[in-house]
Amino acid sequence: MAKAKANTELCKGCRLCVRACPRHAIIPLELVNKNGYEIIEIDQELCIGCGMCYKTCPDNVFTVE
Amino acid sequence: MPVYKTPKSIIAPSGCCGGCGHGIIQRLIAESIEELGLQDQVIACVDIACSEWSLDCLDYDHIAGPHGRIASVATGIKKVRPDKTVYALAGDGSSYVIGWTETTYAAVRDIPITMIVVNNGIFGMTGGQMNLATTLIGDKTVSSKAGRRRETMGHPVDMLQAIKTFDVEFAARGALYDTKHIDETKRFIKKGFENQRDNKGFSIIEVLSPCPTNWKLDPVDAMEKIKNENEKVFPVGVYTDRGGNK
Ligand SMILES: Cc1ncc(C[n+]2csc(CCOP(=O)(O)OP(=O)(O)O)c2C)c(N)n1
Ligand code: SF4
Ligand code: SF4
Ligand code: SF4
């Protein structure tokens, strides 16, 4: 099954993907990237590869394949 | 399962704030252009404002015109390079206030360009001033601190209702607050590029887009505001579609 991958160096901490994921597979973290934004993590067990995160993210963090 | 990958034309991160709709719109433009195989013949015209962030981000020939004049810049380019895919990307301050004349006459002349207007309800780059066309009644901005009042500041106007009377090829409004609306907005933008490829006439796509920074809202709450408030005043959908019958 396709799964989402995240390049969190591009993340700007907006959490729109957290809101969009139908499986609640995207976990908001307090961990920051080198730009100082709080990033996210994907629970690969829950992910169904639907691509909603890709469509929602303004900063091209996600690839689903 | 389809594969979702960032379009090849996106070559650098944009300078937009977190949660800004401009980033999603840039991606929809790039996806539409690549799906139509037009990426080697694009001249992008971006307005001076937050649309300008796409200059570094998208791998197309670009020109940034003076603020508000982008529909005229794109008109000139399309006249001299009719073989090129020319799009104009601009804010609502540019397109509907300072540059309403330019937008209007590109529409009246039915120039076969694709114009994308980012309706974020304010002047974004300069710090969030009230937009006479798009700021909702009651919305607080740096130039309507107690909220916009109809009596002294007028009321928002749906410019697509005006533009559709100019006999243009296509006018539509999309939104970005959920994936259903993002998909719909993509269909509108892609249609705008298809119309240009087929030399059909002026296509304009307005997008209800959040500016969390100047709205002083969390990005998720900014999307909710669009769904609950802005879309009520500015309904999404197709305003006119001539279907190539000039
Ligand atoms: C002729 C001219 N007038 C004013 C400005 C200042 N200015 C730059 S960006 C901007 C506001 C842009 O708002 P909008 O077009 O809505 O785009 P946004 O930043 O919200 O995407 C203004 C007034 C300018 N650069 N040039
Ligand atoms: S692909 Fe779908 S299920 Fe997986 S993280 Fe993205 S939105 Fe969630
Ligand atoms: S939508 Fe993109 S930028 Fe926003 S939190 Fe999720 S991964 Fe980060
Ligand atoms: S100021 Fe507003 S429109 Fe400009 S990049 Fe930031 S969020 Fe986007």
Segment B173-183, tens digit of pLDDT: 999 999 999 99
Query: Residue B113, Cβ neighbours under 10 Å: how many?
Result: 26
Question: What is residue B231's predicted lDDT score, i.e. its pLDDT?
Answer: 98
> What percent of chain B is modeled with pLDDT above 90?
98
Q: What is the ipTM of this complex?
A: 0.98
Strands (E), chain B: 42-47, 61-65, 85-91, 114-119, 122-123, 129-130, 170-175, 203-208, 237-241
Q: Which residues contact A48 (CB under 8 A, 6 or more apart)?
A: A1, A22, A23, A25
Q: Which of B207, B206, B123, B224 is nearest to B162 (CA)?
A: B206
Question: Model confidence over B36-58: pLDDT tens digits?
Answer: 999 999 999 999 999 999 999 99
Q: Is the pLDDT of residue B2 over 90?
A: no
Rg, C-alpha atoms of chain A: 11
- 3-class DSSP state for residue B36? coil
Q: Which of B203, B215, B206 is nearest to B236 (CA)?
A: B206
Question: What is residue B83's predicted lDDT score, i.e. its pLDDT?
Answer: 97
Smallest CA–CA distance, residue A21 to chain B, in Å, is: 10
In the structure, what pLDDT confidence band is assigned to residue B1 with cuts at 50, 70 and 90?
Answer: low
- 3-class DSSP state for residue B31? helix
In the structure, what pLDDT confidence band is assigned to residue B245 with cuts at 50, 70 and 90?
Answer: confident
Separation CA B115–CA B95 (nearest Å):
9
Q: Is the pLDDT of residue B65 over 80?
A: yes
Both tokens of B186, joined, read 């993509």
Question: What is residue B246's predicted lDDT score, i.e. its pLDDT?
Answer: 79
Question: Model confidence over B76-118: pLDDT tens digits?
Answer: 999 999 999 999 999 999 999 999 999 999 999 999 999 999 9
Question: What is residue B37's predicted lDDT score, i.e. its pLDDT?
Answer: 98
Region A29-44: what's the mean pLDDT?
Answer: 98
Q: Is the pLDDT of residue A8 over 90?
A: yes
CATH number of A4-59: 3.30.70.20
Decide: B161 in ligand 1 pocket, CB within 6 A. no
Region A24-38: what's the mean pLDDT?
Answer: 98
Q: Decide if B18 and A14 are in contact by the 8 Å CB cutoff.
A: yes
Q: Which residues contact B152 (CB under 8 A, 6 or more apart)?
A: none
Query: Residue B237, Cβ neighbours under 10 Å: how many?
Result: 10
Which of A23, A41, A44, when mutated, tests ligand 2's pocket best, judged by the most ligand atoms within 8 Å of its CB?
A23
Separation CA A16–CA A43 (nearest Å):
16
Quote the pTM value: 0.98
Question: What is residue A24's predicted lDDT score, i.e. its pLDDT?
Answer: 98
Q: Decide if A56 and B19 are in contact by the 8 Å CB cutoff.
A: no
In the structure, what pLDDT confidence band is assigned to residue B156 with cuts at 50, 70 and 90?
Answer: very high
Q: Decide if B4 and A55 are in contact by the 8 Å CB cutoff.
A: yes
Q: Which of B239, B244, B165 is nearest to B204 (CA)?
A: B239
Name the strand (E) or helix (H) holding A62.
Answer: strand A62-64
Question: What is residue B186's predicted lDDT score, i.e. its pLDDT?
Answer: 98
Q: Decide if A60 and B223 are in contact by the 8 Å CB cutoff.
A: no
In the structure, what pLDDT confidence band is assigned to residue B244 with cuts at 50, 70 and 90?
Answer: confident
Q: Is the pLDDT of residue B219 over 70?
A: yes
Instruction: Give the best residue of A17, A47, A52, A55 to mutate against chain B (max B CB count within 10 A).
Output: A55
Considering CB atoms only, which of A2, A19, A63 is closest to B1? A2
Smallest CA–CA distance, residue A54 to chain B, in Å, is: 7
A54 contacts in chain B (CB < 8 Å)? 4
Both tokens of B89, joined, read 């990307």
Domains of chain B: 22-190+232-241 (3.40.50.970)
Both tokens of B127, joined, read 């710090």
Question: Model confidence over A38-53: pLDDT tens digits?
Answer: 999 999 999 999 999 9
Q: Name the DSSP letter for residue B230.
A: I
